[in-house]
Amino acid sequence: MSIGGLDVTFTNSSLMMVIVVSLVVLFMSGGMRKNALVPGRWQMMVEMTYELVANMVKENVGKEGKAYFPFIFTLFMFVLGCNLLGMVPYSFTVTSHIIVTFALAAVVFVGVTLIGFFKHGFGFLKLFVPSGTPLWLLPLIVLIELVSYLVRPITLSVRLCANMLAGHLMMKIFAGFVVGLGSLGVLGVFGAVVPFTVNVLLTGLEFLVAALQAYVFAILTCIYLNDALHPSH
């Protein structure tokens, strides 16, 4: 299917994203359905994720960051949902595709840059000139700061994508060992216990990485936003 020359086919990637978004909405609205003063278990989970991101924004951005909390919370929940749902066997890990994470990172980068220019005008460029730099070092420092600023969307997207990709790759390699050894007869089946154990442990590690990378993605967005709101450091 294509509209105006653009390929807009509904792929399995799009389907997973729709599933993730509906599950997140279900999780949030279902937990807050009763809206009790003393929270139950489900409401407690919702409140804990809310407080995690709220504290992150408060500590890293400060009071002005409150206006951007919905954006960062949405980003965090989406990435977390994609990462965790990708751990279900035979499902599809959306965040292991560079184009998805790069689109997310590009939104963050363009948005943060625009916020910086709207809030401070050309004062935003003070971000590239750290205070207390000797004058003869200035051209070099400005260049380094500029490059490290422009490379942010790439590192942000590649970090998330490569982490998910490498983790799933590692699990599949060890699963391949299990199958390969298991087809060697009785002795091979006993040998296959070792890579199988490793694979179970790797699955646990992957769950940690899935949650951690969503957290890192959100916290780095906070740090970039802090740079835009308080450019003179």
Partner 1 sequence: MELEAAKAIGMGIAAIAMGGAGIGLGNIFGSYLNGALRNPSAAPKVRGDLLLGFALTEAIAIFALLVVVLILFVL
Under DSSP, the state recorded for 38 is: S
CA distance 201 to 164: 16
Residue 145 CB contacts under 8 Å (≥ 6 apart), including other chains: 127, 128, 129, 130
- Report helix, strand or coil for 90: coil
C-beta neighbour count of 123 within 10 angstroms: 12
Q: Is 129 in the site for partner 1 (CB under 8 A)?
A: no
CB of 167 to partner 1, least distance (A): 9
Q: Is 213 in the site for partner 1 (CB under 8 A)?
A: yes
Describe the crossing of helices 69-86 and 193-229 by its angle, rounded to 10 degrees: 170
Q: Is 216 in the site for partner 1 (CB under 8 A)?
A: yes
Q: Is 115 in the site for partner 1 (CB under 8 A)?
A: no
- Report helix, strand or coil for 2: strand
Compare residues 115 and 216 and give the one whose CB is closer to partner 1.
216
Q: Per CB under 8 A, which region of 21-29, 70-78, 181-189, 213-221 contacts partner 1?
A: 213-221
Q: Which residues inside 143-172 make contact with partner 1, applying CB under 8 A?
A: 155, 158-159, 162-163, 165-166, 169
Q: Is 221 in the site for partner 1 (CB under 8 A)?
A: no
Residues that bind partner 1 (CB under 8 A): 155, 158-159, 162-163, 165-166, 169, 209, 212-213, 215-216, 219
